[in-house]
Chains A and B, each alone.
Chain A
């Protein structure tokens, strides 16, 4: 079966711009979680969507938002980009919300660079 697909793989944006990242989960998976990975901070949880509803939210400013569509695909948006937003953004899909760790399948990520 196809894995988790994240697009684009790489992105370069300038400060102040906004960006939208996309994640297509594994077919049948209804939960999508987003993580930010930076050196020294590990993977930081952004939010989780399940059946088009945000179920959990991490400790990130309101510039970070997301949504999930009826086909479970999810998008993450970051507005007014800052240099510190440069990171690898990972999407993980699972069958159900609150799935145990083995139920997570990560995508390869989108590498965002803010200049």
Chain B
């Protein structure tokens, strides 16, 4: 049972434009969400997080939005750069216990 879903396996965006990666979850008890970025042959690295008391968190070019009523979060990257090309995983947990990860979205930023 996939509690965290990323329905778009891949996304292509022109350099300089906005990348929007989406994630849906089913468990209303999740209260902490994060995004990881993964390059080939490397482990995932932490990108940005958001707790359920917020609806937006921003860090430089990266912004995460949380819509609790829709059980949906999204990651916006503006402007997109070729170095952002990677697989992005969203994850959710209930008070920092086991994290449930999505299946990932492969982002390609075209120069």
Q: Do A and B come from one complex?
A: yes
Show the binding face of A for B, using Cβ within 8 Å: 4, 35, 40-45, 48, 56, 58, 90, 92, 98-102, 104-109
Nearest CB on B from A2, distance (A)? 14
Nearest CB on B from A10, distance (A)? 10
A-B contact count, CB below 8 Å? Answer: 59
Instruction: Find A40's partner among B34, B45, B103 (CB 8 Å cutoff).
Output: B103
User: Residue on A with the closest CB to B104?
Assistant: A42
B-chain residues with CB within 8 Å of residue A99 when the two chains form the complex: 96
Show the binding face of B for A, using Cβ within 8 Å: 2, 4, 6, 32, 34, 36, 41-46, 49, 89, 91, 93, 95-104
Given A43-B101, A56-B97, is A101 in contact with B34 using a C-beta cutoff of 8 Å? yes
Instruction: Find B34's partner among A56, A102, A109 (CB 8 Å cutoff).
Output: A102
User: Residue on B with the closest CB to A91?
Assistant: B43
Nearest CB on B from A31, distance (A)? 11
Instruction: Find A101's partner among B42, B99, B102 (CB 8 Å cutoff).
Output: B99
